[in-house]
Amino acid sequence: MFKRIVLLGLALAIILAACKAPAGVTPTSKKGRVPLAPEGTLLRKIQDRGKLICGTKYDIPTFGYLNPKTNQVEGFDVEICRAVAEYIFGDPNAVEIKEAISKNRIPFLKEGVVDIVASTMTINEERLKEIDFSIVYYVAGQSLLVPKNSPISGVDDLKGKRVGTVKGSTSEKNIRAISEKKGLNIEVVLFDTYSEAVAAMDAGRVDAVTTDDIILYGFVRQEPDKWKVVGGRFTVEPYGVGVKKGEKELLEVVNTVIKELKTSGRWKEIYKKWIPSDVVPEPPPDDWREAK
Ligand code: GLU
């Protein structure tokens, strides 16, 4: 009889042990949805730290903008950072936003200054050699910002003109290529940030500023009496979240979050909140090569 009770107890203990979650899949918090990642991965480092460090811009009203009224960074890119933090920790505020401008966002990922970058960054072959990218979360296109009274109405009017843009951007490469191809002899003037380029245009030092339309529309929204966007979209710029190469657990988390934003309807809410447009389109396809 005693032997039977011992055996029964033993069997029960084995069954209970088998039912318990195996090591490595303990949730990090009651509300977070990500199992504890293996030691040595960047995702695990983030989980142990208890917050995500995300690089965004600080001077782009639509995507990443340090609002002087609230002292908070806000915009489409910031919403992506918060959604990733919410997924990992169950808390959209478990995130530290750091400024990552165009020329330092890839070095910041490589050096571990930030965990992810959501900074109006276009996915392309060249950058994919250095970092990994999430699926596409927005598609922009390069355009021109000019003073309201400017006669410039498109790239062909830029012959011999001074055009401001930013170091480390696709905008610089694209405008140089267009100038070369069309023989426009554009003088490209480089700045660290787009707000500096716009300030230079305000001071009459450049005739136009070129970058993604959605960045330019942000400046128009801030000073509608001063600027206008002209020339239409002359490139396709699919935005992805940058992640250090090889951190597949973190990349998977970011991709899951973007997928959920797109399918749940939240992507449309974010779009409506930050993009100055009357119509809210369908979310873009995941694959950057399919971006239009
Ligand atoms: N999306 C372009 C890029 O990634 C231009 C905007 C920017 O500099 O962030 O280079």
**What is the CATH classification number for the domain harbouring 254?**
3.40.190.10
Q: Are 239 and 139 in contact (CB under 8 A)?
A: yes
Distances (CA, A) of 290 to 238, 263, 279: 9, 18, 21
Residue ID of nearest Cα to ligand 1 atom 4: 121
The reported pLDDT for the residue numbered 33 is 85
Report if residue 146 sits inside a domain. Answer: yes
Range of the domain at 147: 142-230
Mean pLDDT, all residues of the chain: 92
Same domain, 278 and 208: no
Same domain, 88 and 216: no
Report if residue 101 sits inside a domain. Answer: yes
Report if residue 93 sits inside a domain. Answer: yes
Residue ID of nearest Cα to ligand 1 atom 8: 169
Q: Which atom of ligand 1 is nearest to the CA of 122?
A: 4
- The response to whether residue 166 sits with its C-beta less than 6 Å from ligand 1 reads yes
Same domain, 146 and 222: yes
Domain stops at, among 186, 208, 230: 230
Q: Which atom of ligand 1 is nearest to the CA of 194?
A: 8
The Cα 189–Cα 205 span in angstroms is 9
User: What is the distance in A from the centroid of ligand 1 to the CA of 120?
Assistant: 5
Domain stops at, among 189, 204, 230: 230
Same domain, 134 and 246: yes
Report if residue 105 sits inside a domain. Answer: yes
- The response to whether residue 255 sits with its C-beta less than 6 Å from ligand 1 reads no
Report if residue 152 sits inside a domain. Answer: yes
Same domain, 57 and 134: yes
The reported pLDDT for the residue numbered 3 is 57
Count of domains observed in the chain: 2
Report if residue 34 sits inside a domain. Answer: no
Q: Are 250 and 46 in contact (CB under 8 A)?
A: yes
Same domain, 168 and 205: yes
- Most ligand 1 atoms within 8 A of CB, residue of 77, 103, 121, 125 to mutate: 121
Same domain, 132 and 101: yes
Residues of the chain with pLDDT under 50: 5-30
User: What is the distance in A from the centroid of ligand 1 to the CA of 110?
Assistant: 18
Q: Which atom of ligand 1 is nearest to the CA of 169?
A: 10
Token pair 């908070």 is found at: 72
The Cα 190–Cα 162 span in angstroms is 10
Report if residue 4 sits inside a domain. Answer: no
Same domain, 253 and 175: no
Q: What is the pTM of this model?
A: 0.89
- The response to whether residue 62 sits with its C-beta less than 6 Å from ligand 1 reads no
Residues in the chain: 292
Same domain, 85 and 206: no
Report if residue 83 sits inside a domain. Answer: yes
Domain stops at, among 230, 247, 280: 230
Report the alpha-carbon angle 107-112-86, nearest 5. Answer: 115
Same domain, 75 and 198: no
Same domain, 63 and 117: yes
Same domain, 155 and 286: no
Q: Are 103 and 116 in contact (CB under 8 A)?
A: no
User: What is the distance in A from the centroid of ligand 1 to the CA of 231?
Assistant: 18
The Cα 140–Cα 171 span in angstroms is 12
User: What is the distance in A from the centroid of ligand 1 to the CA of 264?
Assistant: 27
